[in-house]
Amino acid sequence: MAPPLTLPPLSLYIHIPWCIQKCPYCDFNSHALRAELPEQAYLNALISDLEHALPLLWGRPVHSVFFGGGTPSLLSVQGMNQLLQIVRSYLPLVASAEITLEANPGTVDMSRFRGYREAGISRLSLGVQTFNDEHLKRLGRIHDSDSARQGVRMACDCFERVNLDLMYGLPSQTLAQALQDVEAALALGATHLSCYQLTLEPNTPFARTPPPLPSHDAVAQMGEEIEQILHHTGFRHYETSAYAYPGHECLHNLNYWTFGDYLGIGAGAHGKLTTPQGILRQMRPKHPDHYLRAVAAGQPVQEQYLVSTQALPFEFMMNALRLIDGLPASNFERSTGLTLQQIQPALDRLRRQALLSPDPERLCATPLGQRFLNDVLQEFLD
Ligand SMILES: C[S@@+](CC[C@H](N)C(=O)[O-])C[C@H]1O[C@@H](n2cnc3c(N)ncnc32)[C@H](O)[C@@H]1O
Ligand code: SF4
């Protein structure tokens, strides 16, 4: 018999759905600002949304907070202060809580960074993408390489934990250029890197008019060589796209990948909460106007459902197998309330194909399994 569902750690995600302008490759829930940021109205909505969700949280401690976007660094220091004070008054944040802010190098300066830090932000994630001016232009970014470098230097001066988002496989990018970006990030002192392969997301300008991308083999080689450089520099590749110096891993994202709970507030935010009835998934309305109206009507949640028993193995594995070291097999039973026997046939098949580690005590994709993760996950669909 599987042990009863145990309450995993809880995180809070706060979505800020605006950007100065929309990048042509991006399908995140982000909207170009056409007028002034409706900051106070949105902050009020976030606060009502949080109040509405409190009964589901039963005073549980919160281990991390993540401001994602969009471009959360559009929020004023005063607005951030106000919001974090309310969050702290409503939720018991643990003393060591990691509080991350995503920032665009085109929207920051030193006084803003200092203000954010004083408001309680402990980790900064900067969307650099590349340090190459030609590529930045091609990506429609609002910053150039000088402001990216300047932003990283300021971030590293102000925050002990800094992540840089980089993308590779960019239009007309060579292997040498992709590696230069990683070298530049290391030289500037980042302790965490998220290296994403550029993907053409449906319904984006890049998907409609594809730019000339490097070949599949060239992009694969970029990924391998980036991994090698980072390995030699002492970074640990701990998740599909994430690299960190030991001890600098992102605790908030680790909570997703270990199938932890999270409340998501703000436009389009998703949540996963363990309740006495089972695992509840929630979605807020995506468009900022719809979200503001839904909150004003006292109904911030657009859709919610209990995850079916059949869907749980896929949902757990989709997260756990992104971790390069996977998870202890016992986590599956604790997190899903199912028994390992229920997925044993799938585990056996994948182990025979060398896609999963043979260690029965761990659920871990082999390097081959990591390359074909989508195929591996198909085995856990009901
Ligand atoms: C929400 S954005 C981060 C912060 C901020 N909005 C910015 O772009 O500076 C998250 C990250 O996802 C990555 N990303 C977005 N669209 C992508 C795509 N089509 N392919 C690969 N990575 C992408 C970028 O590295 C981006 O920084
Ligand atoms: S700034 Fe970030 S979230 Fe906004 S459109 Fe560009 S990649 Fe997307």
| Residue range 41-60, pLDDT digits in tens | 999 999 999 999 999 998 89
Spatial strand order of the sheet with 261-265 comes to 236-239, 242-244, 192-197, 161-168, 123-129, 93-103, 62-69, 10-16, 261-265, 270-275, 278-283, 303-306
Residue carrying structure tokens 């919001």: 83
Q: How far apart are the first and last CA of the chain?
A: 20
Amino acid at 209: T
Q: What is the distance between the alpha carbons of residues 245 and 191, in angstroms, rounded to a whole number? A: 6
Q: Please indicate whether residue 69, judged by its CB atom, sits closer than 6 Å to ligand 2.
A: yes
pLDDT at 311 over 70: yes
Reported as a pLDDT band with limits 50, 70 and 90, residue 5 is: confident
Mean pLDDT, residues 197-202 taken together: 97
Atom of ligand 2 nearest to the CA of 129: 7
* Ligand 1 atom with the shortest distance to the CA of 200: 19
Work out the average pLDDT over 337-344. Answer: 95
Mean pLDDT throughout 267-295? 97
- In the chain, pLDDT over 70 holds for what percent of residues? 99
Beta carbons within 8 Å of 249's beta carbon, 6+ residues apart = 192, 236, 238, 242
Q: Average of pLDDT values for 83-97?
A: 97
pLDDT at 197: 98
To test ligand 2's pocket by mutation, which of 18, 20, 26 has the most ligand atoms within 8 angstroms of CB? 26
pLDDT exceeds 80 at position 269: yes
Q: Is the pLDDT of residue 336 over 70?
A: yes
Confidence band for 2, pLDDT divided at 50, 70 and 90: low
Sign of the CA dihedral 346, 241, 11, 28? negative
- Predicted confidence at residue 284, as pLDDT, reads 98
In angstroms, rounded to a whole number, what is the distance separating the alpha carbons of residues 328 and 325? 9
- Ligand positioned closest to the Cα atom of 142: 2
Distance, CA 72 to ligand 2 centroid (Å)?
10
The whole-angstrom separation of Cα 299 and Cα 372 is 40
Contact (CB, 8 A) for 35 and 69:
no
User: Given ligand 2 and candidates 19, 20, 102, which is best to mutate, with the most ligand atoms within 8 Å of its CB?
Assistant: 19
When the pLDDT of each residue in the chain is averaged and rounded to a whole number, the result is 96
Q: What is the average pLDDT across 267-285? A: 96
104 Cβ inside 6 Å of ligand 2: yes
Q: Which value, in Å, is the radius of gyration of the alpha carbons in the chain? A: 21
